[in-house]
Amino acid sequence: MDFLFNYYTTYILMIIAMLFSLYASFNVNSTFKKYSKIYSSRGQTAAQIARQILDSNGLYDISVVHVNGNLTDHYDPKRKIIALSSTVHDSTSVGAIGVAAHEVGHAIQYAKGYIPIKIRMTILPVAQLGSHLWLWIFLLGILFSMPVLRNAGIILFAAIVLFQLITLPVEFNASSRAIKTIEAQGILYGDEIKGARKTLTAAAMTYVAALAVSITQLLRLLTATRRR
């Protein structure tokens, strides 16, 4: 009975986590859509703001480029580019500026040797390997009744969960840096800052939701293994 309780509890927790994930995804899109219609009083584009913050931190070797898509913004440390999406790059909205400042926050983390991002980069190769192989290894372990393979699959999936866990402080710190810079450099004012903060908070919740889904899935794998 104790096992059955735990087994079905993990399913319930997983459903709750998935619903939270759906809400987080909806919320980030609706929040960004709302604040993409509220424009900065300074009238500078997100790309210009990104360039300004980079230069103020002495990061002249990092380029700001345009990429297609909606909210496909990211920082590529290997190519040293801040990639801003179509809905962000040329926009003067407070939402777009918040997103651009957040991505520059990641560039600053790398430049200053922020410890969590170093840990995340160390775990990244294992997490990438795990994302491609964990399910196949786990299923082979079940199919051929090989606990070693089954456990190896779970360990690889656990590496993905660990990577997502380390990602949280990285993302929250980048957002914190963004808001502090926006305030310190007078990029946004008053309610404009609130709009940027709400946009970044909504984005951060998607990472929390993804972690919650992965943790409940890991618990389900562990209880299924215990059953066997």
User: Residues 134, 153: contact at Cβ < 8 Å?
Assistant: yes
Using alpha carbons only, give the angle 153, 159, 160 rounded to the nearest 5 degrees.
95
C-alpha Rg value of the chain to the nearest Å: 20
Count of C-beta atoms within a 10 Å radius of residue 26: 11
37-to-23, 28, 190, 196 alpha-carbon distances in Å: 21, 14, 16, 12
Which two three-digit tokens encode residue 124? 């990244």
Q: Is 171 a catalytic residue?
A: no
Tokens 């230069």 -> residue: 55
Question: Hey, which residues are catalytic here?
Answer: 103
